[in-house]
A and B are shown apart, each in its own frame.
Chain A
Amino acid sequence: MLKVLAALAVGAVLAGVASVAVVNVAAPTAEPPNKPLYNYGDR
């Protein structure tokens, strides 16, 4: 029973963290780059 409760707690925490991450990322962000030329990327 203890293991099940621990698993449920871990799952709940993980689900909560995932929800926070999704809400943060889904919030409006700056416009994407809009340039005719662009680096391959940035480190």
Chain B
Amino acid sequence: MRPPFRFVRLGLVWGGPALRPRAVLARFGPAVLGLACGVLALGPALGPGFALRYDMVFVPDPPVRLPGGFPRAVPSDQVVALLSAVVPAEIVQKAILLGLFTLAASGAAALARDALPGGGIVPRLAAAAFYAWNAYLAQRLLIGQWALLLGYAGLPWAVRAAAGGRAGRLTVALLPAAVGGFQAMLVSALTVLPVAALRGGGGGARAVLSSVLRGGAVVGVLSLPWLVPALGSDAAADPAAVAAFAPRADGPFGTLGSLLALGGIWNSHAVVPGQEMPALATARLVLAAAAVAGFVRLGVVPARPAWWPGLAAAACAGVLVACAGAFAPGVPRALIGWWAGFGPLRDGQVYVAPFALAQAAGVAVVAAALRRSMPAPVAAAAVAVPMLALPTFALGAFGRLGTAEYPEEWRRVQAVVNGDPAPGALLSLPWSAYRAFPWNGGRVVLDPATKMFSRPVVWNDALVVGTGGGRRIRVAAESPRARRIGALLAGPAAVPLTGALKREGVRYVLAGGVDENTFLSRLPGATPVYRGPELLLIRL
């Protein structure tokens, strides 16, 4: 029987050129390697239930709604909600997380193929392994920023598309970042626009301008879902956040050494366990230095890839933005104080992503050099080096990632609130954004109430960051309504709250871990509609 035409066209016929073992490895090897990295890194987070950690909050049956305030999770939450209408949300979460690794690895391998045409499979696999297994990806995963990582994973594809100069391909390549939202798109814009500007090809300044405008237009259109609500938002940005979220040293080589090795996240709870060990930190820094040397070497060959100058510029710019928070905090502080739109600069380590991609391309160059001077099996072992330099990222960073099932009472409360057609917001208490539930293994996670209900949720979006010695930095709430309600709650305990909360448009209060008698005395006339071991739901 003859195989279908489309298989013949793609060479996917046994004995055809694409199904020879070497060709299969070249075509699918990087993606399979990325998937394997994902399985190994996520480990227990792939079990039944939801992986809940810091900003990674997935809930059962999430509603499709636009949140008020700054659109921090737009359109990522809406896309998850739409997908969850078809597939259970926990499956959606696992597919996204595994997809991140697969997309990142296959993209880095494709970039390596551009850099070293005819270089064989080893450099591609080495680039894939490096880009799917490094401190940046690990730390951002451990702080739960999966939406940012969608942009990171799509970055190599976006770079290739921008270098090609075709708007259609760039649009497709930026779709993961577009789904991720503001952080993913900002990191992508930082990378894609220099690549578009410096891709060469002749034509002078007019061609450069045209290329940048085309890339900018694609980035702009794909940013509209979060850009429009952001520009219309009354959210404020607190310059104090720069001190809270500046990069920090996560090993013995200081903040700069940590950033060069792609680490340096502000949160000490988001580092991979054992990451600070001197021997491992040294191995990562040496690997980073070799990767940078490889990337620089790639830039001096006559047939360097079209994306090289732009990616080099983006990598330098990203490292500079990250360094500004640590070494010149006055600059981002002044910018944020001047205009809240500069708020995303507060967590500068995010912008190290293009540097990670440049290093992945450099790793491919180093692996190609090894391959030329050594037997294939020895050179192929280089693929394992990123894992050996960060071994404790495996198995969900040794339990930092895991799964949990929501207690039944969360589902009951969700059903009551979402089944009520009357308008009005839900106020989530206690007045703090992050929780460490016993049923989630004590892992810190953003209040799930922020994602669970089909009506607006008022929660305390002020952030508290410990700085050691019992000192804390308090980053003021972004939402004006949260600030007003916070002031009400902080008032004298004898003052009833029911009227004031109703005037703020609150219909429900969801309280966890409160003393019911004491708490209800502040809400005269309110009706408890659900009482559970952990949650108390009150209708005003």
Other-chain contact of A40, B248, B370, B465 (Cβ < 8 Å): B465
Write out the residue numbers on chain B whose beta carbons fall within 8 Å of the beta carbon of A31.
442
Other-chain contact of B434, A14, A32, A39 (Cβ < 8 Å): A39
Q: Are A42 and B274 closer than 8 Å at their CB atoms?
A: no
Q: Are B435 and A38 closer than 8 Å at their CB atoms?
A: yes
Contact (A18, B280) CB under 8 Å given A3-B373, A7-B374, A25-B398: yes
Q: Are A38 and B378 closer than 8 Å at their CB atoms?
A: no
Q: Are A42 and B392 closer than 8 Å at their CB atoms?
A: no
Q: Are B472 and A39 closer than 8 Å at their CB atoms?
A: yes
Q: Are A7 and B378 closer than 8 Å at their CB atoms?
A: yes
Q: Are B436 and A34 closer than 8 Å at their CB atoms?
A: yes
Q: Are A36 and B381 closer than 8 Å at their CB atoms?
A: no
B477 to A: closest C-beta gap in Å: 13
Write out the residue numbers on chain B whose beta carbons fall within 8 Å of the beta carbon of A15.
388
Q: Are B279 and A17 closer than 8 Å at their CB atoms?
A: yes
**At the interface, yes or no: B54 with Cβ under 8 Å from chain A?**
yes
B463 to A: closest C-beta gap in Å: 4
Interface-centre pick from A11, A26, A41, A42 (highest chain B CB count, 10 A): A41
Interface residues on A, range: 20 to 34
A42 to B244, CA, bound (A): 9
Write out the residue numbers on chain B whose beta carbons fall within 8 Å of the beta carbon of A36.
430, 435-437, 512-513
Contact (A43, B442) CB under 8 Å given A25-B273, A36-B512: no
A22 to B: closest C-beta gap in Å: 5
Contact with B along A5-43 (1 / 0, CB 8 A): 001100100110111111011100001111111111111
**At the interface, yes or no: B454 with Cβ under 8 Å from chain A?**
no
A35 to B467, CA, bound (A): 19
**At the interface, yes or no: B12 with Cβ under 8 Å from chain A?**
no
Interface residues on chain B, number (Cβ under 8 Å): 50
A-contacting residues, B429-472, CB 8 Å: 430, 432-438, 441-444, 463-468, 472
Q: Are A32 and B443 closer than 8 Å at their CB atoms?
A: yes
Q: Are A33 and B444 closer than 8 Å at their CB atoms?
A: yes
A-contacting residues, B386-429, CB 8 Å: 387-389, 391-392, 394, 398
A17 to B275, CA, bound (A): 12
A3 to B370, CA, bound (A): 9
Q: Are A38 and B444 closer than 8 Å at their CB atoms?
A: yes
B298 to A: closest C-beta gap in Å: 21
Write out the residue numbers on chain A whose beta carbons fall within 8 Å of the beta carbon of B381.
7, 11
Identity of the chain B residue whose Cβ is nearest the Cβ of A17 in the assembled complex = B279
A37 to B267, CA, bound (A): 17
Q: Are A14 and B385 closer than 8 Å at their CB atoms?
A: yes
Contact (A40, B442) CB under 8 Å given A14-B389, A17-B279, A22-B391: no
B242 to A: closest C-beta gap in Å: 12
A37 to B429, CA, bound (A): 10
Identity of the chain A residue whose Cβ is nearest the Cβ of B287 in the assembled complex = A14
**At the interface, yes or no: B268 with Cβ under 8 Å from chain A?**
yes
Q: Are B443 and A43 closer than 8 Å at their CB atoms?
A: no
A23 to B54, CA, bound (A): 26
A7 to B382, CA, bound (A): 9
A6 to B: closest C-beta gap in Å: 10
B350 to A: closest C-beta gap in Å: 15
A31 to B270, CA, bound (A): 17
Write out the residue numbers on chain B whose beta carbons fall within 8 Å of the beta carbon of A20.
277, 279
Write out the residue numbers on chain A whose beta carbons fall within 8 Å of the beta carbon of B437.
36
Q: Are A38 and B388 closer than 8 Å at their CB atoms?
A: no
**At the interface, yes or no: B169 with Cβ under 8 Å from chain A?**
no
17 contacts between A and B (CB under 8 A): A7-B381, A14-B283, A19-B391, A21-B392, A24-B274, A25-B274, A32-B436, A32-B441, A32-B443, A33-B444, A36-B435, A38-B432, A41-B266, A41-B268, A41-B269, A41-B270, A42-B267
**What 7 pairs across the A-B complex have the smallest Cβ distances?**
A41-B267, A32-B442, A42-B466, A18-B391, A17-B279, A36-B513, A25-B273
In addition to A24-B274, A41-B465, 8 A-B residue pairs with Cβ atoms within 8 Å of each other are: A7-B374, A11-B381, A32-B443, A33-B442, A33-B444, A35-B436, A38-B434, A43-B467
Chain B positions near chain A (C-beta within 8 angstroms): 54, 143, 244, 248, 266-270, 273-274, 277, 279-280, 283, 370, 373-375, 378, 381, 385, 387-389, 391-392, 394, 398, 430, 432-438, 441-444, 463-468, 472, 512-513
